[in-house]
Each structure stands twice: as structure tokens, then as C-alpha cells.
Amino acid sequence: MKKHITEETIIFFSVFKWLILSSIVGMIIGYLMSIFLSTLHEAEKMQSVFPFPYYFILPIGLILTVWVIHTFDKNATGHGTEKVIEAVHKRDGQIDVKVIPVKLTATVLTIFSGGSVGKEGPGAQIGAGAASFFATLLKFSAKDRKKLVICGISAGFASIFGTPIAGAIFGIEVLIVGLIMYDVLLPSFIAGFTAFTTAQFFGVEYKYYDINFYRSFQLDINLISQSVLAGIFFGLIAIFFITVVTTLEKKIKKLPYNKYQIAGVAGLIMVVISYFISEKYLGLGLSTISDALDPSLHAADNISWYDFILKTFFTSLTLGAGGSGGVITPIFFVGTTSGVAFGHLMGGDHIALFAALGFVSVLAGATNTPIASIIMAVELFGVHMANYAGLSVVVAFLITGHRSIFQSQRLSLEKADNVNISTDKEQDIGHMDISLNMKDINRVKSFGKKLKFKTFKWKKS
């Protein structure tokens, strides 16, 4: 009996400790996010002061961004979330506090000038940086600092997305594919809710999408089968996005030119394409996302079938050239616009529904976060979306395979039978050793020959 009472007392004090710590961290991060988002909002309003299209300054903006990052903190480069995941896995959450002002400045510069990036990656990095500084200030152990930094990631996502539950889950789920760290679940929820509430208190307003038009639909076999097909389609879109972004980033970094020259030329390429084709691929692209999710078919008519391809290219070019910002908002753009294209293929009046499914399904596939994506569908679009989103999200997550836009993610899950992954817990997804069962490969080859298809030559790992 004494042992039982002692155990419950220890657990009580542990829960109380993390209630206090995560609440404090959540408030700090919520306040920082309100500063970040209001600064970004003011910067976007200033785009109208130029006597020419604002994006003409994109080459200069990218050059300035590269200079700021390489002068003050190189960890502020890229899309933020990647650096945070790496810090959690390799440095027990140790993050230099100077990344906060540098990341904020670099991201605002990039988006202000028209760079195709998002705001959630910087939000996660700023939140994690603040949590790490708080832990260092109070001389926490490496274990507690890591735990607090994960709370910081969740708080950052929750206050940027405007979805406290999905944001909190995303911050945990994005670290290791197939594993939820339950010991951080409660603190992350508290930090997420606190940050979200604090940001709202300081004036941050969030965008939610009204597609309640679909509430009247009964669950029918036709729409269920279309949701499964949509999941396959969005899984392929996620593979396309991951492949193009990671490949183009690597190729640009290998170019034998000065980093400032690369930034200037990349900006110039985007200026030319935007001037002659469309400006919609620049910046956050929130107006296009809203159009795609509008139940009115007339709004969806503004979306072209190739929008997701050009947005992917712009995001790859921006990040590869040294721009700073996240990839989640571009993923939302790619998901919704490809959803509109899929909706047109299917016919009927379900365009906004498929755009919404694309919103969360491409996110799940590209980032390996199916649970957070399903919850996000409910928080953003309503509970009536859960059934369709659940099917599409999980299928997209599986179809994407053992890939991720975040190369520092780790795997603890094999997505299919006879696909073997390395069991080395220190290995990230970008260097993961994946082997396939040769019997299954031969079976696929045999099936391909019967259909007179040419198949790829597989090599044994």
C-alpha cells in the first residue's frame, strides 16, 4: 500500500510540474508567435507601396535573406522544422536562442519579397528555440530540455495553424514515424492550447473554411471509393513534392557559383515566370487555397491543373536559393489545387470536398503525420469530414512510402509487408537503408511481363 501511495504521489508531482512548465512555455511562445504573425502581416501590407509589382524585389530579397542567415546564424536557413527535428534527435533539443530573431527576420524578408515558403516551419523553430532557452536558463537536464523543446514545437505549430489539437499532435508525430511519445502528450497539449489562446489574446485571427455544404451528404459507397482513389492520387502528389523539393535543393547547392549569385538568379527566374504566367505561386498563396476550398464552383474555376506543379517548383527554387520559411503552407497549396484537379477528373460538384481532402492528405503523405492530419481536417472543416479524410489521409500516408520532406525524421514503422527498414535508431529517413523482398520483386516483374509493361530493374540492397 505504501509503495502504491508513493508511486501516485510521484506521478502527481510530475504531472503538476509539467502543467506549470508547459503553460509558461505556451504563453511565451504564443506571445512570440503573435509578434511574428503581426510582423508578417504588416510586411505583406507594405507590398502595395511599390510603384511596380512587389515581387520585382525578389532577387534582392533573397540575396538579403542569404546575407542575414550566413552573417548571424546559419541554422536559420531552410524550412525550420528540419533543423528542429535534427536538434531533438542529435543534440537533446539544444538550440541557440539567437535563431529566434534571425529566423523571424529572414522569413519576413523572404515572404515580403515574394518567396514561396510558409510560416509554420519558422514558428516551430522559434517556439523550440524559446523552449530550449527557457530550459537552459533554469538548468534543466538534457531529458527535460528535450521534452520542453518538443512542447515548444507543438506550441509553435498550434499557434500558427490555429488548430490546437492537431498542432500539438503534429509536433510529436513529426519526430518519429510510427511512434507517439506518450510521456510528452499532456505537456504538448497544454503548451499548444496555451499558445493558441495567448496568440488569440494578442490579436491573432485564424482562417477556418466553411464547407458545411457537405454535411447533407450521407456516407455512400461511391464517395467512399472516390476518397480511396483520392488518397492514392494525393500520395503520388506527395511523392512528387518531396522528390522535386529535395532534389532541386541538393542540385542548386552543388552549383559552382557564389551563393548570392544563385539567390539573385533564382529570384529573377521566379519574377519572369510570375510576370508572364501568374503571381499566385509567390508568397503564402492563401487566397488560392481559399478559392480552392470555396464550395462555389466558380471559385474553383480560378485554379489551373498545373498550379501544384509550378508551386512546387517555386518552393524548391526559393529554399534551394537560400530563402527562409516553412514547407507546410506550400503543401496546403499543392494539396488543395491538386484536389481541384482531381475533383474535375471525377466530375460532379464535390470540388471543394476533394480540395479539402488534398489539404490534409498531401500533408500526411509528405510529412508522415496521419493522425494530426485527420484531426486537422475536423478542426478546420468540421466533424462531417472525418470519415472521408480518414480514408484519404491513411491511404496517402501509406502510398508515399518511406519518404519525407523532413529528411531528419526517423522511422520505426514498415508501411508494407516485405519492405524492411534499418533498425538503427540513430539513422534518419534521408539515409535509411531500405531493402525489398526479392520474391515480391520477381512477382511484380512477372505480372508486368504478362501485361507487356516494362518494369524497372531492381537491385538488391
CA dihedral for 362, 364, 367, 373, sign (positive or negative): positive
Looking at the structure, tell me whether residues 240 and 135 fall in a common domain.
no
8 and 155 together in one domain: yes
Is 88 inside a domain boundary?
yes
User: Which of 383, 399, 415 is where one domain is finished?
Assistant: 399
Claim to verify: residue 163 and residue 222 sit in the same structural domain: no
> Domain for residue 56, yes or no?
yes
CATH number of residue 352's parent domain:
1.10.3080.10
Question: Same domain, yes or no, for 288 and 233?
Answer: yes
Residue 181 burial by CB count (10 A; 0-12/13-18/19+): exposed, middle or buried? middle
Question: How much is the pLDDT for 295?
Answer: 81
Residues 181 and 323 in one domain: no
Residue 263 maps to a domain: yes
One domain, residues 80 and 110 = yes
Q: Which of 373, 399, 425 is the last residue of a domain?
A: 399
**pLDDT of 179:** 84
Q: Are residues 18 and 122 in the same domain?
A: yes
Residue 410 belongs to some domain of the structure:
no
Residues 67 and 182 in one domain: yes
Question: How far is Cα 8 from Cα 20, in angstroms, rounded to an integer?
Answer: 18
DSSP three-state, residue 244: helix
Which pLDDT does position 439 carry in this prediction? 56
Q: Is residue 186 part of a domain?
A: yes
Q: Per the domain annotation, does 47 fall within a domain?
A: yes
Interacting residues of 195 by C-beta distance below 8 A, sequence separation 6+: 26, 27, 29, 30, 33, 127, 155, 156, 158, 159, 164
Among 399, 425, 455, identify where a domain stops. 399
Residue 447 counted as domain residue: no
Q: Residue 418's pLDDT is what?
A: 67
- Domain with 350 in it: 212-399
Q: Is 451 left (phi over 0), alpha (psi -120 to 50) or beta?
A: alpha
Number of domains in the chain: 2
Q: 111 and 166 share a domain?
A: yes
Q: 449 in a domain, yes or no? A: no
Specify whether 290 is located in the same domain as 317: yes
Cβ atoms < 10 Å from Cβ of 437 = 13
Residue pLDDT tens, the chain, 461 long: 666 677 778 887 888 899 999 999 999 999 999 999 999 999 988 998 999 999 999 999 999 999 999 999 887 777 778 888 888 888 888 898 889 999 999 999 999 999 999 998 889 999 999 999 999 998 899 889 999 999 999 999 999 988 889 988 999 999 988 888 888 999 999 999 999 999 999 999 887 776 654 544 566 788 889 999 999 999 999 999 999 999 999 999 888 889 999 999 999 999 999 999 999 999 999 999 999 998 876 667 789 999 999 999 999 999 999 999 999 999 999 999 999 999 999 887 788 899 999 999 999 999 999 999 999 999 888 888 888 999 999 999 999 998 999 988 888 877 776 666 665 555 677 666 666 655 555 655 565 555 554 444 444 33
Rounded Cα distance, 410 and 365, in Å = 15
Nearest to 229 by CA among 334, 358, 348: 358
Give strand pairing partners of 434.
Answer: 421
Are residues 63 and 106 located together in one domain of the fold?
A: yes
Do 286 and 183 lie in one domain? The reply is no
